[in-house]
Amino acid sequence: MNTDTGDELLCKVFDMGVYQEKIRPYGILPAHKNVAGIRDIILGERKAYVFLDKDFGDMHTLVKSCRRLDEEHACRLFRQVAQAVAHCHQAGIVLGDLKLRKFVFADEKRTQVRLESLEDCRVLEDPNDDSMSDTHGCPAYVSPEILSSSAPYSGKMADMWSLGVMLYTMLVGRYPFHDPDPATLFSKIRRGQCCLPEGLSPKAKCLLQSLLRKEPWERLTANELFAHPWFHQPPSSQEVALGEQEVSSAEQMVPSFDVEEDDDLFC
């Protein structure tokens, strides 16, 4: 708790040897309402204690409890997610391990979304070169190019794929690519073909297809995303709801991960 204001804060603890690198992005990124900022830092002998604003739950938990979100609700939240990503990309920061759990609510009503932290992001030394080679991330959100080649890939375009996975999960209630067997899961992702339920509006399907493209250069960039019609025309209340068969299977639901979701792709 902040003794001056009485506000509850979230504390992250880092070893002294790495904390400066962990907080470096905060000094580069201009303040933004959809990205958490550092409130205070306390340095100990061996540990650094970094304090950020308290949150009111994450988006993974919300989607799991609601099973799926209607398009109007999803649009309000996803717009804020995309604004955070676009802001980071513009400042030369690639987020890398993007997933629903990384986005939290800033208010009790769960209407204001922000990126929970920047500790796992990558700061680009050259703003014009976002080449990456590491394979850290959640398997359900990883892009095909990371799995298909050892060659460098575009970090920003990998982020856009992860945004597509997030939006699909919000609208459908399950990951676009899911299998309990990692080898089968990665095979599905490499093919890059997922089923779009009939209950989604044409604009939602179009946006998902524009993000979940196998070829990275064919995906929308973060700035291009906001020009898509899905953001500008609310879906009709007459839209056909997703059938129960789309979300009845336990295998199709957003799974609860403990340790596995945060494991590296390759051990």
Per the structure block, which two tokens stand in for 129?
């070169």
Distance of CA 142 to the CA centre of its chain: 11
User: Which run of H or E residues covers position 148?
Assistant: helix 144-148
Cα separations in angstroms, 111 against 104, 118, 152, 256: 10, 21, 37, 23
Is 263 annotated as catalytic? no
DSSP label of 145: H
Nearest to 68 by CA among 239, 266, 182: 239
CA distance 98 to 162: 6
Q: Which residues neighbour 133 within 8 Å (Cβ) at sequence distance 6 or greater?
A: 150, 152, 153
- Amino acid residing at 240: V
Which residue among the candidates 55, 97, 130, 159 is catalytic per the annotation?
A: 97
DSSP label of 76: H
Q: Which residues neighbour 26 within 8 Å (Cβ) at sequence distance 6 or greater?
A: 37, 38, 118
CA distance 121 to 136: 11
Q: Which residues neighbour 170 within 8 Å (Cβ) at sequence distance 6 or greater?
A: 59, 63, 68, 69, 74, 77, 78, 100
Burial of 256 (0-12, 13-18, 19+ CB in 10 A): exposed
Enzyme catalytic residues: 97
